[in-house]
Amino acid sequence: MRVGLLGFGTVGSSFAEVLAAQEGAGVRITRIFNRGVERKRSHERARFVPAEAVWTERVEDVLEAADVDVVVELLGGLGPVENWLRAALLAGRHVVTANKQLIAYRGADLFALAAEKGVQLLYGAAVAGGVPVIPGVAQGLSGDRLTRISGILNGTCNFILSSMESGAEYQEVLDRAQAAGYAEADPSADVDGLDARAKLCILARLALHAEIDPEQIPAETIASISAVDFAYARELGCTLRQVSRAELLDGMVSAGVGPMLVPRSSPIAWSHGTRNMVVTSGRFGGDVVFSGHGAGGHPTAVAVLSDVRAIAENSAQVRLPARRMKVVGDAVAPHYLRFVVADEPGIVAAIAGVLARHQVNIDSLLQHRGYPAERLPFVITTEPCLSSKVGRAVAEMAALPFMVQPPLCLQMLVADDPETV
């Protein structure tokens, strides 16, 4: 199986290294496209590339080459990449990609084109890196009727939040993540949930047979989380993680991405560092947990090479139907409300009055000593209710004169959820 490689960055060079370590893989790199090709070809990691491979700065030299059977795309983004892969499929070449944005936004059209041309489009590395959740769901769980998927789909956020458990503040840990190469200079796609929701759309199409637009999924940032939230979460028997969830609900999909309080008994709470975790819930097979390293060149390269080898072995791709579904961001759940106030009499009564007007019941109130009166944090948890109700109450409470900063509102995973058993 002759590979034309688009991109020789972290994942591309790792793919070459992983392939070079395989004996009898039946796969060979014949062409590599990259900008600044001389710099790439002289890099020490180029030693993993066969000496006879052709390096080029013209993508056509890969897409139109007679010695390329499968195009492996490791560049990312939409832009020209979509057109390049369409050209590869139209030319009757298989395509393997790790491009989550492309599969989330353009996947349906590209899958139809691949089927029309009788070739395969595989994307096992697009979600959870080296964790085989894509083939696991497509092949191992295709006999079940999956109703819900949930978990941790962004290794950067998981590194930040699990590191904050020791008491560190958000910015301190973000700086550490950027220094370690886990976070980009502009981390917004990760910390604001945009990366995770693209992956959630891919999983929803595969697991729930639901075609949904990423823009319809509510995404909340983790940047508003502070060390004090972990202190209160511990008192509630919880920790905090960025959780992605999608569930079939009356012909629609209830979905969202954002930081949540997670019971420490949940497998989701056990995931630390850059690890990813996906929990599928099936009508007949129950819960299945996928966990492992979701980021990094080597784990991602393993998933890419596994896809190439599947094509080389003529493994049939499981084609699952999907239909367009409406996304509902609202959900019934208990909520965690953290306030920072300038202390004065009547604060709790004022907040309780707002919640009562919006038909939100208080479950508990927590306040730790030792904070200055001019910036006093405390927490209220609610009984299960619609997120939209709590959101309207929080918007009203943000205008109260004693609020030092906007209230933080997070959903709480409940202990009797199947994935918390």
Burial category of 180 from C-beta neighbours within 10 Å (exposed 0-12, middle 13-18, buried 19 and up): exposed
Alpha-carbon dihedral angle through residues 73, 77, 78, 79, given to the nearest 10 degrees: -100
Lookup result for tokens 């910390």: 191
Q: How far apart are CA 348 and CA 344, in angstroms?
A: 10
Q: How far apart are CA 158 and CA 114, in angstroms?
A: 34
Lookup result for tokens 């009757």: 92
Q: How far apart are CA 86 and CA 110, in angstroms?
A: 7
Lookup result for tokens 């995973």: 413
Asked whether the CA dihedral 61, 63, 69, 74 is positive or negative, the reply is positive
Q: How far apart are CA 378 and CA 352, in angstroms?
A: 13
CB 29 within 8 A of CB 54: no
Q: How far apart are CA 231 and CA 297, in angstroms?
A: 34
Of 295, 291, 223, give the one whose Cα is nearest residue 259: 223
Burial category of 113 from C-beta neighbours within 10 Å (exposed 0-12, middle 13-18, buried 19 and up): middle
State the Rg of the chain over Cα: 24
Q: Is 199 annotated in the active site?
A: yes
CB count, 10 Å around CB of 398? 12
Catalytic-labelled residue, pool 40, 100, 117, 199 = 199
Asked whether the CA dihedral 45, 49, 52, 55 is positive or negative, the reply is negative
| Active-site residue set | 199
